[in-house]
């Protein structure tokens, strides 16, 4: 299996990413080895790329709100992997950021996710991630996919992008906030309970060993 260092080196050495590497820009993703939840978005925005911190914008604030976690937990708990469809900012278009580059996920996601073998849930943010992981046709409608999120559980959870630009969409689809949004938060809390129980068990065992209660 690759080391993280080797994977990053290979990504930066790839011809497709040469222009970024020449500028000293590194691929932006994270795969803690004990991660349980993987967030698959479109690609880093320019703010994320310049700061070197993924989901570091109003969209990220909304996403964390939906997940029911704060910044400290999101970035430092080790619970979350962030593996977008492209690890670099693809540039600006007429109506927003350009699409993730074709073939990037095919080339790098399998090797990346091999570094986090304990992932149980992939949160698919936006249509690019959903079409790729759910093997959908380009004609698939995001609204229908998100509304029928239960069809893809327990491995995948499709979400609309948390950008403030999508507030109008949310107003037109009130079921999203009422029915869908509570679910990611519940999932996160469930994983935290699992981790908490495991940590408690380890602490208790150390205590017993210190008291010569077990060997």
| DSSP per-residue string spanning 44-62 | --HHHHHHT-TT-SHHHHH
The answer to whether position 190 is within a domain reads no
Contact status, residue 111 vs residue 146, Cβ threshold 8 Å: no
The answer to whether position 187 is within a domain reads no
The answer to whether position 43 is within a domain reads yes
Please give the residue range of the domain that contains residue 126.
4-181
The answer to whether position 199 is within a domain reads no
Question: Quick one: pLDDT at residue 64?
Answer: 94
Torsional class of 91: left (φ above 0), alpha (ψ -120 to 50), beta (otherwise): left
Domain count within the chain: 1
Question: Quick one: pLDDT at residue 33?
Answer: 94
How many other CB atoms sit within 10 Å of the CB of residue 199?
A: 10
Whether the ω angle into residue 69 lies within 30 degrees of 0, i.e. cis, is no
Which residues, in sequence order, are CB contacts of 11 under 8 Å at separation 6+? Answer: 17, 27, 87, 108
Q: What is the 3-state secondary structure (H, E, C) of 127-189?
A: HHHHHHHCCCCCCCCHHHHHHCHHHHCCCEEEECCCCHHHHHHHHHCCHHHHHHCHHHHHHHH
Identify the CA nearest to 163 among candidates 185, 141, 187, 142: 142
Supply the pTM of this predicted model.
Answer: 0.87
The answer to whether position 197 is within a domain reads no
Residue-wise pLDDT tens digits, 53-63: 999 989 999 99
Task: Spell out a b/e string for 186-197, using b for 16 or more CB atoms within 10 Å of the CB, else e.
Answer: ebbeebbeeeee
**Which contiguous run of DSSP H or E holds residue 199?**
helix 182-210
Residue-wise pLDDT tens digits, 172-186: 999 999 999 888 888
Question: Quick one: pLDDT at residue 207?
Answer: 36
Per-residue pLDDT of the chain (215 residues; tens, 9 = 90+): 789 999 999 999 999 999 999 999 999 999 999 999 999 999 998 889 999 999 998 999 999 999 989 999 899 989 999 999 999 999 988 877 899 999 999 999 999 999 999 999 999 999 999 999 999 999 999 999 999 999 999 999 999 999 988 999 999 999 999 999 888 888 777 777 776 645 434 333 433 334 343 33
The answer to whether position 80 is within a domain reads yes
The answer to whether position 171 is within a domain reads yes
Domain of residue 109, CATH code: 3.40.470.10
Question: Quick one: pLDDT at residue 129?
Answer: 98
3-state secondary structure of 101: coil
**Which contiguous run of DSSP H or E holds residue 120?**
none
The answer to whether position 196 is within a domain reads no
- Mean pLDDT for all residues in the chain: 88
């Amino acid at each position: 299996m690759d080391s993280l260092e080797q994977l990053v080196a290979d990504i930066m050495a790839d011809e497709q990413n040469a222009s970024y590497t020449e500028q000293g820009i590194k691929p932006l993703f994270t795969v803690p080895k004990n991660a349980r939840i993987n967030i698959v978005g479109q690609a880093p925005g320019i703010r994320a790329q310049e700061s070197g911190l993924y989901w570091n914008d109003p969209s990220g604030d909304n996403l964390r709100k939906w997940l029911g976690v704060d910044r400290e937990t999101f970035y430092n708990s080790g619970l979350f992997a962030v593996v977008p469809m492209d690890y670099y900012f693809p540039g600006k278009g007429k109506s927003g950021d350009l699409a993730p580059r074709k073939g990037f996920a095919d080339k790098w996601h399998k090797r990346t996710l091999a570094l986090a073998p304990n992932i149980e849930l992939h949160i698919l943010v936006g249509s690019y991630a959903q079409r790729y992981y759910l093997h959908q046709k380009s004609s698939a409608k995001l609204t229908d996919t998100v509304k029928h999120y239960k069809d893809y559980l327990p491995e995948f959870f499709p979400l609309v992008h948390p950008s403030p630009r999508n507030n109008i969409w949310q107003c037109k689809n009130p079921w999203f906030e009422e029915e869908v949004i509570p679910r990611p938060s519940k999932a996160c809390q469930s994983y935290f309970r699992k981790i908490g129980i495991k940590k408690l068990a380890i602490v208790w065992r150390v205590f017993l060993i210190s008291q010569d209660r077990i060997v």
